[in-house]
Amino acid sequence: MTEPPANQTTAHVPVFPQEIVDALQAAPGQTLVDGTCGGGGHTELLANCVGGTGVVLGVDRDPAAVERCALRLSGLPVKLVVGNFADIPEIVQSVGLVPVDGICLDLGLSSDQLADDERGFSYHSEGPLDLRFDRDQGSPAWKLLDRLSEKHLADLIYQYGEERYSRRIAREIVSRRRQQPVRTAEQLAGLLRRVVPRSKHHSIDPATRTFQALRIAVNDELKWIEVAVRRLPGILAIGGRLAVISFHSLEDRIVKNTFRDHPQLKVITRKTIRPTAEEVAANPRSRSARLRIAERVDE
């Protein structure tokens, strides 16, 4: 694992920092939840808003992220728990924090995860192609590549990555695994760059969509997003807010539709909030971020 500098617990820069504070209407004495605490950026901002009379619950599936947050947020009014954001209703009940005044979810990868060579999130990683947020759960992505049939693999890459060259990619992976199966992120990225033509109109790396598809699959991401967004309004106080940051259309579609159809929610953002040019310049990874906000209403 690539460690951050000794005087720095995280390299991650949160997206929409002020927008999240505004979205949750963060104020002294509130009880807030950061369901994807990651590098702790949003958690710290919210903790500074609620002050000593309030509390922020930080949750993350990645135990390493929770450890980093514990270092960064020491002394702030924060409680940290390793867990799936879909289980937040049970978590807040267990620590006696129901109802809560606001919840935020940031569905993107953190810079710390990308820097961890043992996880395989970075295309340049020489470590195993793992892609799991919690390595105690499920199977790593390289095992998925070994196990799935060519058709199943092509369907997965197309469905979760919206990759038009999915069949060509699956055929190449299956052909290669007979002699030299893919084991690292670097190997897979190299294969994808040979097989997928680089777009003339977009700067997206040819590996992007397939890595996204495999990460979604090994973490069951779309299922948990839908479950979470359906369940979380039930623990919000009337007038409490749920804010979700997504990074691709599959996530955003789930959030948009669930917000629209949920009987306990009023949609605040008719259109998604996008990052400003200034934020993208300072933090290029924010360029694909979308923010949606909904408010708990009385049924």
User: In this structure, are residues 37 and 60 in contact, taking their beta carbons and an 8 Å threshold?
Assistant: yes
- 3-state SS class at 77: coil
Residue 205 confidence (pLDDT):
85
User: What's the confidence (pLDDT) of residue 113?
Assistant: 59
pLDDT recorded at residue 38:
87
Give the phi and the psi of residue 180 in degrees, each rounded to 5: -140, 80
Report the DSSP beta bridge partners of residue 80. 58
- pLDDT of 10 reads 56
The predicted pLDDT at position 13 comes to: 82
Q: Note the pLDDT of residue 5.
A: 36
- For residue 238, how many other CB atoms are within 10 A of its CB? 11
pLDDT digits (tens, 9 = 90+) for 63-97: 988 999 999 999 999 999 999 999 999 999 999 99
pLDDT at 72: 92
- What pLDDT, on the 0 to 100 scale, is given for residue 117? 62
pTM of the model: 0.88
H-assigned helices in 232-296? 249-261, 277-282
Query: What is the third-level CATH fold of 17-112+222-296?
Result: Rossmann fold (3.40.50)
* Cβ proximity of 235 and 96 under 8 Å: no
Tell me which residue of 15, 94, 88, 102 sits closest to 55, measured CA to CA.
102
Phi, psi of 192 (to 5 degrees): -65, -35
For residue 13, the one-letter residue type is: V
Q: Which residues fall within 8 angstroms of residue 59, CB to CB, at 6 or more apart?
A: 33, 34, 35, 36, 37, 80, 81, 82, 83, 84, 85, 88, 91
E strands present in the chain: 31-34, 55-60, 78-82, 100-106, 236-246, 265-267, 290-296
Q: Which segments of the chain have a pLDDT < 70?
A: 1-12, 109-119, 200-202, 299
Domain boundaries, the chain: 17-112+222-296, 121-220
On whether the 121-220 domain is CATH 1.10.150.170, my answer is: yes
CB 195 within 8 A of CB 166: no
Where do we find the tokens 């196990």? 147
* Per-residue pLDDT at 1: 30
Which pLDDT value is given to residue 115? 56
Mutual orientation of helices 185-195 and 208-219 as an angle, nearest 10°? 130
